[in-house]
Structure 1
Amino acid sequence: MSQSGSRSQSLTQTRYTISEVEARTGLSRHTLRWYERIGLMPHVDRSHSGQRRFTDKDLDWLGFVGKLRATGMSVADMVRYAELVREGEHTVGERRDLLERTRSEVRARMAELTDALAVLDYKIDMYAMKTVSGKGRQ
């Protein structure tokens, strides 16, 4: 696409204020500004008066960052991932490595939680039987 074609496309693109993004994502203005300051958020366009104007692409990115946060990925690793994305296609291997390492950590935590859940289920079942039979209080 030509430069003028991409420019006209960006002019017709939906833009969101920081308040709208806050309402859509549940992230506070403080968090959104912090994400931008630490480099987790790509450059956010500004209106002629200097107000941030987020795009659908920005909202998609924030959704992805939310998923990374849910995995327990450190802020430093999330920022590193964002830097790699900005650096371009030659970083795909490093990005993949980072995501694979995170996936491995998530799977390990899931296994730990599955084990903990089994213990809870066992205890709950024990207490349910004791409650029904009227025996003991442990």
Structure 2
Amino acid sequence: MLIAEVSKKFELSQDTLRYYERIGLIPRVNRNKSGIRDYTEEDCRWVEYIKCMRGVGLPIEILIEYVRLFQQGDETINARKELLMEQRKQLIAKMADMNNVLERMDYKITSYEQTIGKKEKHLI
């Protein structure tokens, strides 16, 4: 699959895909005879995984480390698991913070709706 197709499929710019490859966020993509990137299904799974993890805010540095460990083989399974468990813990804390903010927003919106409702009654 060419970079333009991968870009469209995952809604990432071609520059982003090249950047991810350059910094080691996705493994090196093979090139065809013309030197054009030729993404395999495995490459696309990496792109999807990285997009998913970045979408919830995992830091690039953590993901680079994960890819590096993965490329070292099965002897790094425990290290990869630990890395993901730590990120999971941080994600849960972030979600709790976001839920608190959401509750405050809901409270404010409800307060405004009640205020607007009272003013509309006075206009009748």
- SS of equivalent to 1:116: helix
Alignment of 1:1-138 (within 5 A): 16-134=1-119
Alpha-carbon distance in structure 1 between the residues aligned to 2:103 and 2:88: 22
Q: Which segments of 5 or more consecutive residues in structure 2 lack a partner in the other structure?
A: none
Alpha-carbon distance in structure 2 between the residues aligned to 1:118 and 1:134: 25
The 8 Å contact of residues 17 and 52 in structure 1, kept in 2 or not, is answered as: yes
C-alpha RMSD over aligned residues = 1.2
Alpha-carbon distance in structure 2 between the residues aligned to 1:29 and 1:127: 44
Deviations 1:77-120 (A, max 9, x none): 11110001100001011101111111111110110111111111
- Length-normalised TM-score, structure 2: 0.91
The Cα of 1:71 is off from its aligned counterpart by 2.5
Q: Which segments of 5 or more consecutive residues in structure 1 lack a partner in the other structure?
A: 1-15
Deviations 1:49-93 (A, max 9, x none): 111100111111111101211232211111110001100001011
The 8 Å contact of residues 39 and 82 in structure 1, kept in 2 or not, is answered as: yes
Alpha-carbon distance in structure 1 between the residues aligned to 2:20 and 2:105: 38
Alpha-carbon distance in structure 1 between the residues aligned to 2:87 and 2:55: 11
- Length-normalised TM-score, structure 1: 0.83
Alpha-carbon distance in structure 1 between the residues aligned to 2:107 and 2:73: 50
